[in-house]
Amino acid sequence: MLRAGCQLFNPSTVAAAKTGSNNFALEFVRWRRKPRWLPVAKSKVFRVPERKKQSEEERTELMRLHNNYKTQLRSVRQYLREEVVRQQETSTADHIVFTPEQEEAEFQRCLEVNAAWNAQIAKEREVRLAKEREEKVAYIQERIEAGKLRAEEQRERADQRIRHEIEQSKTFITRDNLDAAIETALANPVDHNYALDLEGNMLRGRTTQSLTS
């Protein structure tokens, strides 16, 4: 049998193992007890061990404790025997012998109880399934109504965008009003070279005089 040496529990060794150094080592030693198959040592062959003398008071006390222990143990055993006998006498399950007619009647009774349990469970299952179907139908109906509402909102946004584009199309330059649009642009030039100050005033680049002039 192997055991860890004293270095395993050395605080310095444990600290070295925590710090990651290589000083941590295990030392395995065997028990110092001689194996059973080896003979007696030569120095102990003719040695007779001295038998310790026992006083009268100690022997009397040990005998008293031994007698008490044996008495209590016999009492517990007797109590357990009587308890087993009492249970065997009062229990009639092991002594009942059914006739074929009684076995058939008992089997039919068990079938009726099982059928009643199955009927009750089936009724509860039908109620649960009906409730689940109602909840599922309500959920599907809610999803359908929400889908219709989303479709209606999308159509409304599409109509608004179409009406906006129709209004904007009135200002489009087409082949018919191209000449008039060119004349209007030449007659009304637009200067996009301007700036804004902190107060929001527009400073035209070509028409505004410099502040230093």
Contact predicate 195/205, CB 8 Å = yes
Give 26's pLDDT tier (boundaries 50, 70, 90): low
The count of C-alpha atoms lying within 13 angstroms of the C-alpha of 178, restricted to the half-sphere facing its C-beta, is 3
pLDDT exceeding 90 applies to what percent of the chain?
42
Q: What angle do CA 82, 84, 85 make, to 5 degrees?
A: 65
**Neighbouring residues of 31: CB distance < 8 A, sequence distance ≥ 6:** 1, 3
Give 30's pLDDT tier (boundaries 50, 70, 90): low
Residues 140-173 have pLDDT tens digits of 999 999 999 999 999 999 999 999 999 988 888 8
Give me the pLDDT at residue 148, please: 94
Please give the mean pLDDT across all residues of the chain. Answer: 82
